[in-house]
Amino acid sequence: MSNIVSWTGEVTHAYISFLVVSAITAFVLFLRERIEWKRGQFSSRINISLNLVVDGVFCIRTVHEGAVDHVIHSSFARKLLKASAKKTTLEDPFLHFANDRDAWMVYTSILNAISSMYGAHLLAAAARGTVKEDPFLIAATWERDADIRIQKLRVLMVQESTLEDLVARRDSLTLEEPYHKARIETLLKMHDQFKSGAWPQYQIVSLPRI
C-alpha cells in the first residue's frame, strides 16, 4: 500500500511540475510576442516572398510566413540567424555568416522548406514527364528601412531576369504599394552584389515550373 501511495505522490508531483513549467513557458512566450508586437519587430517569425514584375508593376507575394522554428529546425541555426539579423544595417540588410558552412546549413534549411511546398506539383510533373525548372536567387534579410512598417526575418526570392528588369526600369516601374520602394532598393543591392561576384553566402535554386 505504501508503495502505491509513494508512486501516486511521485506521479502527482511530476504532473504538477509539468503544469508549472508549461505555464511558465506559455507566459514567457506571451511576453515575447507582446514585446515583438509593440516594437513591430518579429524575430520569432520568418517571411518568404516572391518578388515579381508583372506588366510593368512591381509586386511582392508571400510564399510562406510562420514561426522560424517551423522552417529552421536546428536551434543552433536559429541562433545564427538571429545573431546575423542583429548585425544588419540600413545599407546592408543581408544576413552574413561567419563561414560558408554556416551559411550553407542555414540556407539548406530554408531551401528544404521552400522545396517542400512544391512536392505534390513536382511529383505530378515527374509522373507526366514534364519536369521543367527555373532558377531563382534567394537571400535572407532583415530590412531596416523606415518605410518597412514591420521588421522580421525575410527570405527574398527573385529570378535573375527580374533583377535585370529592375535595374533597367527602376525609374519607370509602377509600385503596387508605395512602401515597396524599400524592397526595390534591397533588390538593387542584391543585384550589385550578385554581379560583383560577392555571392558566396547566398543561394541559387531551381524550382519546378508549374
Q: Write the pLDDT tens digit of every residue in 67-125.
A: 998 888 888 888 888 899 999 998 899 998 888 888 888 888 888 888 777 766 667 76
**pLDDT of amino acid 132:** 66
pLDDT at 14 over 70: no
Percentage of residues in the chain having pLDDT higher than 70:
66
Please tell me which residue, 30 or 65, carries the higher pLDDT value. Answer: 65
Percentage of residues in the chain having pLDDT higher than 90:
17
Lowest-confidence segment of 4-18, 57-71, 122-136 by average pLDDT:
4-18
Burial class (CB in 10 A: 0-12, 13-18, 19+), 87: exposed
Burial class (CB in 10 A: 0-12, 13-18, 19+), 161: exposed
Q: Which three cell numbers stand for residue 195?
A: 554581379
Report the C-alpha gap between 114 and 111 in whole angstroms. 5
pLDDT at 133 over 70: no
Q: Write the pLDDT tens digit of every residue in 137-169.
A: 889 999 887 655 678 899 999 988 888 888 888
Q: Which three cell numbers stand for residue 209?
A: 515550373
**pLDDT of amino acid 203:** 59
